[in-house]
C-alpha cells in the first residue's frame, strides 16, 4: 500500500486504463492526480519478466520491462487516451 500512497496523492481519481492482453499475473491501474498527471502502477506477480507497451494519444509509445515479482510506477502528463498494448 505504501507504494501507491507515495505516487497517488489525496484527491486523485482512478481512471479507466484499457488493456489488449490479459495475463493473470500482471496487474495495472491508473489515476489522474489533482495536478493533472497520469500515474500508472504496474505489478508483475509472474516468475519471469513481462514487457509492456503503452500508447498515448499523441501516437507516442513507450515500452518497459517489468522484472519478475516487481512493481513499477510511470508518471505522465495528462492525455485523453493512454492505452496498454
pLDDT digits 0-9 by tens, 29-71: 999 999 889 999 999 999 999 998 888 767 788 899 999 999 9
- Residue 25: CATH number of its domain: 2.60.40.1180
Mean pLDDT of 10-15: 92
Cα(21)–Cα(31) distance, integer angstroms: 20
Mean pLDDT of 6-31: 84
> In this structure, are residues 17 and 85 in contact, taking their beta carbons and an 8 Å threshold?
no
Mean pLDDT of 1-23: 80
> In this structure, are residues 52 and 62 in contact, taking their beta carbons and an 8 Å threshold?
no
What is the residue-wise DSSP string for 48-83?
A: S-EEEEEE-TTS-EEEEEEPTTEEEEEEEE--S--E
CB neighbours (10 Å) of residue 66?
A: 19
Cα(38)–Cα(79) distance, integer angstroms: 8
Q: Place 9 in a pLDDT band, splitting at 50, 70 and 90.
A: very high
pLDDT of residue 16: 84
- Residue 49: which domain range? 2-84
Strands 70-77 and 37-44: antiparallel
- Between 56 and 83, the more confident residue is 56
Instruction: State yes or no: pLDDT of 80 exceeds 60.
Output: no
pLDDT of residue 40: 92
Q: How many domains does the chain have?
A: 1
Amino acid at each position: 500500500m505504501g507504494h501507491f500512497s507515495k505516487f497517488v496523492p489525496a484527491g486523485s481519481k482512478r481512471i479507466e486504463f484499457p488493456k489488449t492482453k490479459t495475463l493473470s499475473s500482471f496487474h495495472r491501474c491508473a489515476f489522474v492526480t489533482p495536478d493533472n498527471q497520469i500515474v500508472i502502477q504496474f505489478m508483475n506477480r509472474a516468475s519471469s519478466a513481462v514487457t509492456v507497451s503503452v500508447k498515448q494519444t499523441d501516437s507516442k509509445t513507450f515500452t518497459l520491462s517489468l522484472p519478475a515479482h516487481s512493481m513499477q510506477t510511470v508518471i505522465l502528463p495528462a492525455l485523453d487516451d493512454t492505452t496498454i498494448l
